Amino acid sequence: MTRKIGRLLGVAGVAATLVLVGCKSDPDPVEPPDDPPPVVETTPPPPVEEPPKRMDAEGNPVDLSGNPLSRTFYFDFDQATLSQRDLAVLQMHAEFLRDFPDRSVVIEGHCDERGTREYNLALGERRSGAVEGFLTSSGVRASQVDSVSYGEERPADPGHDESAWSRNRRAELIYR
Amino acid sequence: MIARICSQLRLPARALSRGSGKVRPAAGSKCAPRRVCLAALSALALLAAATSPAAEDLEIVISEGRDNPARIAVVPFDASTAPVASGMADIIAFDLLRSGQFSTLARENMLSYPATPEDVFFRDWRIVDMDYLLIGRAVLESNGDLGVAWHLYDVTAGRELLSRRLVASPVHMRDVAHRIADDAYAAITGVRGAFSTRILYVLVQNPGTTYARYQLRLADSDGERARTVFESTEPVMSPGWSPDGTRIAYVSFETGKSSIVLHDLGTDERRIVANFEGINGAPAFSPDGNTLAMSLSRDGNSEIYTQDIATGALRRVTRHPGAIDTEPTWNATGDALIFTSDRGRRPQIYQVDLATLFVERLTFHGDYNARARLLPDQRHLIYVHRRDGIYHIAWKDLERDDLPRVLTATSLDESPSVAPNGAMLIYATQDGGRGILAVVSIDGGATYQLRSASGDVREPTWSPFLDTTRVVSSSE
């Protein structure tokens, strides 16, 4: 019995050292997830000049001033047309994805509750497809982009008025 | 004006409180798109097997009946030796009342409680203005079966219309009651009764939140005996019945995106039959039960396909790049599909001949017509129709080019489904921000609502006529 516990403690100790070793020898800057910016800065800095910050703590792309790029794009009723403003933002997403070819994004297409559910499933796909088409035509590799339509099944706002509907007609970029 | 039937009569539907408690969601069942998550799939399959009855389910509120309903007294059955049958008359009366074609007499207004023909005195029923009288006696047979002898009378003519004896296991008491209501309804109206049917629907708890739970539920036509057929943290939509009522098909997002599931109601065995890239939606069984029509976007945009269920072989039916083609439904002979398309810029209803692939447009009035269903007469179409910005259920005669008749007075109406006898229509609507189901008679007038205390209910699908061999006729 005590021997078993001793062995378990031994295993735990080995595991702990493995984790520590793993932390020390892992300065990989393109593998961001948990708390990347401090880690990058506290490890011995590379001698090259510091590039502008490209993503926030969650790994989502930021603009030149460091603010997160908008990842939700809204549509008019029964439409799948992106506005000029949205296209400008999507252009920055495209640049980010071109510069970080190991990053990928899922585009979710959504609709408001009006109209039939299956028609909206197809309309949601048209919306996610509009975003996907713009990204790939801007040089993002098709393997980096995936899209899924949820139709009206996943509203951002559960309300039943025009303001809720306008928030629900959307495409969302989810970075992985 | 004759009084409307029992406005605001409320009968809470009791659900069977058997078996296990609430089934918890499988952890980590949210998967990346286009990557089938096997762990989640098997966990969800387990959920499907462990059906969980909710404590309280569909409550029915009758809001309106038609003018001049037939008046019937359904006398409490003599169940002195078979207490299990003591509520049968209420079940039968509630069936007839919901049809909108009957008003029923409260038992406190009855002058006598006959249970056998010898006890019937027509004057007792003429005094209270009845057109019809239904009586019965239930006994437990020596083998434990429930036997029910019942009689239907035409009070005005003073004669018996129908006399039957039914035998079933006592656990099928409700089936016996619905069968009696079906037979009485047919004897009086000349139309087959559809009370021994079921409703499949989607119940969503915490809709529009990250805690949303989606349940596919199955209940008797009166909202009773509801059970969960499938449950998921991912959306479930578009349920439909096989023509024999033994299988269902629906869309589930358990793979992280829409896929089509075939589910055997007898064994709870389920199989993903379509999980192609893009949308897999709108499954509809062919009249022979061998083929599913569906909407797939695997070739770039949403198009109509048929799939042989046994072989999985696909046939592409529509070919209209850029347009949404979806929501297929079969005609009775299985040689044509009716579907929604926005190939003319706005959603309209079309028909495609499966031999020639010739496409014909069916709706011309209004800028949003979608999700059609044919009535059993194959001549009338029921569909979602937008008028003045409001979504209603409309009815159209395919042999005339009249304006469609709007059947519903509510808004945001969708998912119409017709009872197999063609007399009633169930659809989804909203009331006070809650998703509820509503039923209207096709000829107008009667309406009632079904609502759940625990969430939004949507996408009701009325079953076909079901196998009723659990209840057998016998001679006395």
pLDDT in tens, B256-282: 999 999 999 999 999 999 999 999 999
Above pLDDT 70, what percent of chain A? 71
Show which of B193, B218, B245 is a domain's final residue. B193
Domain-embedded: residue B312: yes
Chain B hits for A126, Cβ within 8 Å: 301, 324
Chain B hits for A155, Cβ within 8 Å: 207-208
Whether B339 and B355 share a structural domain: yes
Angle at B73 between CA B69 and CA B77, to 5 degrees: 145
Whether B167 and B265 share a structural domain: no
Q: Does domain A53-175 have CATH number 3.30.1330.60?
A: yes
Domain-embedded: residue B11: no
C-alpha to C-alpha distance for B459 and B427, rounded to whole angstroms:
7
Chain A hits for B32, Cβ within 8 Å: 106, 146, 176
Q: Pairing state of beta strands B434-441 and B447-452?
A: antiparallel
Domain-embedded: residue B269: yes
Whether B46 and B137 share a structural domain: no
CB A130 within 8 A of CB A82: yes
CB A104 within 8 A of CB A176: yes
C-alpha to C-alpha distance for B475 and B466, rounded to whole angstroms:
23
Domain-embedded: residue B23: no
Whether B450 and B325 share a structural domain: yes
Note the pLDDT of residue B476: 53
Chain B hits for A156, Cβ within 8 Å: 208
Whether B210 and B353 share a structural domain: yes
Q: What is the pLDDT of residues B299-318, one digit of tens each?
A: 999 999 999 999 999 999 99
Whether B118 and B108 share a structural domain: yes
Q: What is the pLDDT of residues B231-259, one digit of tens each?
A: 999 999 999 999 999 999 999 999 999 99
Residues with Cβ within 8 Å of A31's Cβ and at least 6 positions away in sequence, in order, are: none
CB A89 within 8 A of CB B297: no
CB A110 within 8 A of CB A152: yes
Record: contact B340-A106, CB cut-off 8 A:
no
Distance from CA of B226 to the nearest CA of A (A): 23
Q: How many secondary structure helices (H) and strands (E) does chain B include?
A: 4, 32
Whether B359 and B273 share a structural domain: yes
Residue A16 has pLDDT above 60, yes or no: no
Domain ranges of chain A: 1-51, 53-175
Q: Is B34 on the interface with A (CB under 8 A)?
A: yes
Chain B hits for A160, Cβ within 8 Å: 412, 430, 433
Residue B292 has pLDDT above 90, yes or no: yes
- SS3 for B306-320 is EEECCCCCEEECCCC
Lowest-confidence pick of A49-63, B12-26, B57-71: B12-26
Show which of B160, B193, B226 is a domain's final residue. B193
C-alpha to C-alpha distance for A162 and A167, rounded to whole angstroms:
9
Domain-embedded: residue B31: no
Domain-embedded: residue B168: yes
Whether B294 and B422 share a structural domain: yes
Q: Which of B207, B212, B327 sits opposite A116 (nearest CB)?
A: B327
- Domain, as residue range, for B107: 68-193
Domain-embedded: residue B243: yes
Whether B177 and B111 share a structural domain: yes
Record: contact A148-B257, CB cut-off 8 A:
yes
* Residue of higher predicted confidence among B31 and B278: B278
What average pLDDT is seen over chain A?
A: 81
Closest CA to A81 of A148, A32, A126: A126
Decide: helix, strand or coil at residue A124. helix
Enter the ipTM. 0.86
Whether B180 and B74 share a structural domain: yes
The CATH number of the domain where B295 resides is what? 2.120.10.30
Residue B379: C-alpha distances to residues B332, B338, B395 (Å)? 11, 13, 11
The CATH number of the domain where B189 resides is what? 3.40.50.10070
CB B196 within 8 A of CB B178: yes
C-alpha to C-alpha distance for B463 and B244, rounded to whole angstroms:
9
Domain-embedded: residue B127: yes
Number of domains within chain B: 2
Q: Which of B212, B256, B414 sits opposite A116 (nearest CB)?
A: B414
Whether B368 and B297 share a structural domain: yes
Closest CA to B101 of B423, B415, B395: B423
Show which of B193, B218, B237 is a domain's final residue. B193
Lowest-confidence pick of A44-53, A119-128, A153-162: A44-53
Whether B280 and B396 share a structural domain: yes
